[in-house]
C-alpha cells in the first residue's frame, strides 16, 4: 500500500514541477479528493448510497472538487488545483491529468431513465483548464483537450482538440507528441497557448489558399502552386 502511494506521488511529481517533495503533494486537494472518492465509491458499490453521498459532500467541502461516488477512476489520476466536476457514469483511465475548472458532464435523457450519460476518458489523456467534455463520448488515449474547449464528439487517439465546439488542430493521430505536455496543448516553439486561436486560423487560411490554388490550376490546366509554408511546416514538425 505504501509502495502504491509512493508511485502515485511520483507520478504527480513527474507532471507538476511545483512540489519540492512528496510531502508537499500530500497537501494537494486533488489527492485528497481522489482518496475520499475511493471510499465513497466503495460505499456506492455496496449500495450504501447515503454514506457514499456523505463522503462525497465532505470531499467537495474540503477540496472544491465534486466527484460523484459512481464515477470509475483508474490509477494515478492527477487533478491539479480543483474546482472540477466528474459525473456519475464517467470513466477515467490511468495516468489522466485534469487541470482546474473542468467538467466531465452528462446529457439529460429525455425519458428520464439513467444510463451512460458521461464521457469515458482513456489512459494518459490531458484535459486543460476550463474544458467541458459532455455526453457519453470516448476521449482516446493520449489525447489533449485544450483550455476552455467544449468537446461533444468522440476524440481519436492522440488528437489535440481546441475551441468551441472543439476541433482537431490538424495534428495527425499517428504523429502526436508523445511526451507529457502541461495544460493539454503543445507549447514552446511548436505551439504557443497565448496565440493558439491565431495560429489555428492561420493554418486554416493556408489550407484554404492551397485548396483554392489547386482548384484554379485544375480549371486552367496548369501545374498547381507550390505548397504554402507555415501550416505544412508545422505539420511536418509535429505541431499545428
Q: What is the pLDDT of residues 204-235, one digit of tens each?
A: 788 788 888 888 888 877 766 655 444 544 44
Residue 189 reports pLDDT greater than 50: no
Give residues with Cβ within 8 angstroms of 233, minimum separation 6: none
| Residue pLDDT, tens place only, 83-123 | 999 999 999 999 999 999 999 998 766 555 568 899 999 99
Long-range contacts of 153-159 (CB under 8 A, 24+ apart): 157/122
Encode burial over 57-89: b for 16+ CB neighbours within 10 A, e otherwise: eebbeebebbbbbbbebeebbbbbbbbbbbbbb
Distances (CA, A) of 52 to 31, 198, 230: 18, 46, 53
Give the whole-angstrom CA distance, residue 78 versus residue 15: 9
37 near 71, Cβ under 8 Å?
A: yes
pLDDT, residue 204, reads 77
Model pLDDT, residue 47: 95
- pLDDT band at 201, cuts 50/70/90? confident
* Mean pLDDT score across all residues of the chain: 83
Nearest-5° Cα angle at 58, 54 to 62: 170
Which segments of the chain does DSSP mark as H helices, in order?
2-15, 22-25, 29-45, 49-63, 196-220, 231-237
Output the CATH code of domain 2-186: 2.160.10.10
Confidence check: pLDDT of 193 > 70: no
Spell out the domain ranges in the chain.
Answer: 2-186, 187-240
Amino acid at each position: 500500500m505504501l509502495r502504491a502511494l509512493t508511485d502515485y506521488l511520483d507520478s504527480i511529481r513527474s507532471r507538476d514541477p511545483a512540489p519540492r517533495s512528496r510531502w508537499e503533494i500530500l497537501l494537494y486537494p486533488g489527492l485528497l479528493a481522489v482518496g475520499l472518492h475511493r471510499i465513497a465509491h466503495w460505499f456506492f458499490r455496496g449500495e450504501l448510497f447515503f454514506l457514499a453521498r456523505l463522503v462525497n459532500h465532505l470531499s467537495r467541502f474540503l477540496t472544491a472538487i465534486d466527484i460523484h461516488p459512481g464515477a470509475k477512476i483508474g490509477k494515478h489520476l492527477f487533478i491539479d488545483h480543483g474546482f472540477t466536476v466528474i459525473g456519475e457514469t464517467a470513466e477515467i483511465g490511468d495516468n489522466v491529468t485534469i487541470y482546474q475548472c473542468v467538467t466531465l458532464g452528462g446529457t439529460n435523457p429525455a425519458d428520464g431513465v439513467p444510463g451512460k450519460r458521461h464521457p469515458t476518458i482513456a489512459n494518459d489523456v490531458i484535459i486543460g483548464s476550463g474544458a467541458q467534455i459532455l455526453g457519453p463520448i470516448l476521449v482516446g488515449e493520449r489525447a489533449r483537450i485544450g483550455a476552455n474547449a467544449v468537446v461533444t464528439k468522440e476524440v481519436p487517439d492522440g488528437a489535440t482538440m481546441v475551441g468551441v465546439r472543439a476541433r482537431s488542430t490538424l495534428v495527425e493521430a499517428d504523429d502526436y507528441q508523445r511526451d507529457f505536455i502541461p495544460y493539454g496543448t503543445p507549447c514552446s516553439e511548436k505551439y504557443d497557448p497565448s496565440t493558439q486561436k491565431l495560429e489555428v486560423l492561420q493554418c486554416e487560411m493556408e489550407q484554404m489558399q492551397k485548396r483554392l490554388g489547386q482548384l484554379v490550376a485544375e480549371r486552367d490546366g496548369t501545374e498547381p502552386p507550390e505548397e504554402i509554408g507555415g501550416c505544412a511546416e508545422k505539420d511536418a514538425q509535429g505541431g499545428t
